[in-house]
A and B are shown apart, each in its own frame.
Chain A
Amino acid sequence: MGQARRLKPPIGRAGVPKWARWAAFPLIALLGLLLRLPQLGARPMHTDEAVNAYIVGQLLAGKPFTYDPQDRHGPALAALALPLARIQGAKSFSDLTESELRLTAVLAGTVTILLLGAAVEMFGFVPCLVAALLFAAAPLPVYYDRYFIHESLFAVATFGLIFTGWRACKGQSIAQAALAAACAALMLACKETALLHFFALAAAGFVFWRWNLRDRGLAGLWLPRAAPAAAAAFLLVSILLFTWFGGNSKALAALLQAAPNLLVRAGGEGHQKPFWYFAQLLAGGWSGGVILALACIGFFQTARKRDPSPFGFLAFYAFFLGIIYCLIPYKTPWLALNFWLPIALFAGLAIESLWRLPAKHPALRIAIPVCYILMGAVAAALIAHDTEQRVFLHAADETNPYAYAHTSEDLLALPAEIDRLARQGAIAVPRIAVIASDPWPLPWYLRHFSEVGFWQPGQQPGKADFYITSTEAADRYGDQLQNFRPEFFGVRPGVLILLWSPAPK
């Protein structure tokens, strides 16, 4: 049995000249890059970004990455951000800028678009083209590809695993199997939630084999010789990253604690949302409903038959992933990026199917394409509107559903105000004492000051030129703050801090 018969070729693959494919996807990636780069440093640093930035700062200072399953995700983001920061001239935490750090996520998002070009053999030209356009311009991927968190890198690694895993099965290739395993290791080194994706992928693979491939013999799909290579690649990449290239062997023991911690975190930890949260988020804005409706058309078109194409597998993966993420109480908006690959590809599949309709109804051969072009133009306008509003105009606004517990723009004025007051008071090197149970993202915003200390409420910080306290901590330090004047700054919606500066005499 030939390979092409083992796994059905995807819909709409044929008939596209290679030059068109190789021209289209780099151009779309360029469009994605052009939408991701402007004003990259303008949005305030989210607390999670600030924590990741601090980790990169520690690495720049020569310290190794210490994996801590309690407070940190894996080392993959830092491992990529570090050389990028160095290339851009950063030598210490205080040298780092928002743009330098966010470039890592921008590049991960751009690689996703390029990878769709490589996946034409798998999903077909039109679905990949539409998916690439959606990745390039839709508000959700553009927003989170400009965010210095693990999600974009995780998403591209997931796509890499699906893509190379499929090719490994199709071509019975040991090299592809090793690549797939490396992608899986990269996912794990991004976030512990990789375990959920591995489960969804395994469940999807199993059901796809039993249902869509009708229990076809595993010999045609599975190459036993690939297993050792895949296992070796997975272990090698995982060990290299988690031990920070051999420097910290304790990380492997810590990694074993990741699963119990993940279970605790899944309970919510203050981020509990209803099960329909992601559907509501993805359907929001002017364009969300249109994209989601198209994706649903593509999904049901695939699901209603035993489709042996990669879309059949993707449908099961999306189904299991959706069930898992909806059932887990812990939900944050950037997790929705994990749905974007199936959504974009199924939307592309739906568009391809709709486009083919006129051929079946010759009487409408002209009217329907014209109608589709108009609808496409309207959809593009809706997407452009949402991207402008959510990514550029209201990036940190609490009305923006993507800006979750986001740092307020007001906080950007804090370091400038300390600078101004220090100059006014002729304080050359201001000593700043921060007293707050959760000071983040202040370490980022105070990184240019050389004398900054952080204390927990109740601890005695000693003498300082400026104090920064949470509203909760302030009343414990009445005597110390007697001759200081307070000024409020917004940290996040509903969260304020006080800057205490020497009162004018």
Chain B
Amino acid sequence: MATAALAQNQVVLKTQLPPPLFVGTPVPLNVPNLEPPTRGKRADFYVPAGTVNLARNKKVTSSDNNPIVGTLDMIDDGDKDGNEGSWVELGPGKQWVQIDLARRVNIYAVLVWHFHSQARVYRDVVVQVSDDPTFRSGVMTVFNNDYSNNFGIGAGKDLSYIETYQGKLIDAKGVAGRYVRLYSNGNTANKLNHYIEVEVWGKPAV
């Protein structure tokens, strides 16, 4: 009964997807230890009713405050197009971006589009949530595929994945916090870090 009641309060997360810019790759990958392929549309992901994208036009800071291409506000401006002019390019190596959601919220999903005009994998992707803007205390990790612990914040066990126009949907399981920080460490094409869009789906914390 409780499960049914819970299910009744769940709705499908609906986000606007950009047009796909490459086909053919990624190709079917059905092997262990690897992110399953995205064949067609991603399976529906359920979130509590009333969940919205809380990141839209919120303040973004970064380890690189002078991006090589674009500006940090492009990360949550709603533009998910994969073409040039829609992404922000941060410097080489380890970098992070941080979104201030302005208040403490429960987060059910984080959607991130790094780059989707060609098949790429971004390295050491970590997503954390905290009430501390410095991320020194009360940090909760919701995704981590930095299995070599290059960032020194703990080795992750999540799987690497190929970027697509559907973005990477991360199940945040309702974790509470005000700040969302996303790490990356270059990609398979170059050492630079890119963000097209980040969405944080949640509700004000109870």
A408-B190, A409-B191 as given contacts; A486 in contact with B33, CB under 8 Å:
yes
Partner pick for B188 among A478, A484, A488, CB 8 A cutoff: A488
Is B111 an interface residue, CB under 8 A from the partner? no
Encode A473-491 as 1/0 by CB contact (under 8 A) with B: 0110110011011111110
A451 at the interface (CB under 8 A from B): no
Q: Which of A397, A482, A486, A495 meets B190, CB within 8 Å?
A: A397
Q: Contacts A488-B121, A496-B121 known; A471 to B147 CB distance under 8 Å?
A: no
- Kindly count the residue-residue contacts between A and B in the assembled complex, taking CB atoms under 8 Å apart: 70
Contact B160 A486 (CB under 8 A): yes
Question: Is the CB of A398 closer than 8 A to any CB of chain B?
Answer: yes
In the bound assembly, the distance between CA atoms of A119 and B127 in angstroms comes to 64
The one of B32, B33, B186, B189 in contact with A493, judged by C-beta atoms closer than 8 angstroms, is B189
A410 within 8 A of B: yes
Instruction: Return A436 CB to nearest CB of chain B, in Å.
Output: 12
Please tell me if A503 contacts chain B, counting CB pairs below 8 Å.
yes
Q: Are B188 and A485 in contact (CB under 8 A)?
A: no
B166 contacts which chain A residues (CB < 8 A)? Answer: none
Which residue of chain A is the closest to B123 with respect to CB atoms?
Answer: A488
Does B26 touch A at the CB level, under 8 Å?
A: yes
Q: A486-B160, A488-B160 are in contact. Are A475 and B31 (CB under 8 A)?
A: yes
Contact A490 B32, CB 8 Å, known A471-B27, A495-B119, A496-B121: no
Which of A472, A477, A485 meets B33, CB within 8 Å?
A485
Across-interface contacts of B22 in A (CB, < 8 A): 494
Residues of A within 8 Å of B29, CB to CB, are 471, 474-475
A478 B187 Cβ-Cβ under 8 A: no
**Residue-wise interface mask of B (159-196) relative to A, using a CB-CB cutoff of 8 A (1 in contact, 0 not):** 01010000000000000000000000011111100000
- The smallest C-beta distance from B52 to any residue of chain A, in angstroms, reads 33
What residues of chain B lie closer than 8 Å to A477, measured between beta carbons? 31
3 nearest A-B residue pairs (beta carbon): A490-B188, A488-B121, A494-B118
Q: List 28 A-B contacts (CB under 8 A).
A: A397-B190, A398-B190, A409-B190, A410-B186, A471-B26, A471-B27, A471-B162, A472-B27, A474-B29, A474-B31, A475-B30, A475-B31, A477-B31, A478-B32, A482-B32, A484-B33, A486-B31, A486-B160, A487-B160, A488-B121, A488-B160, A488-B188, A490-B187, A493-B189, A495-B119, A496-B25, A496-B188, A503-B33
A residues adjacent to B (C-beta < 8 A): 397-398, 408-410, 471-472, 474-475, 477-478, 481-482, 484-490, 493-496, 498, 503
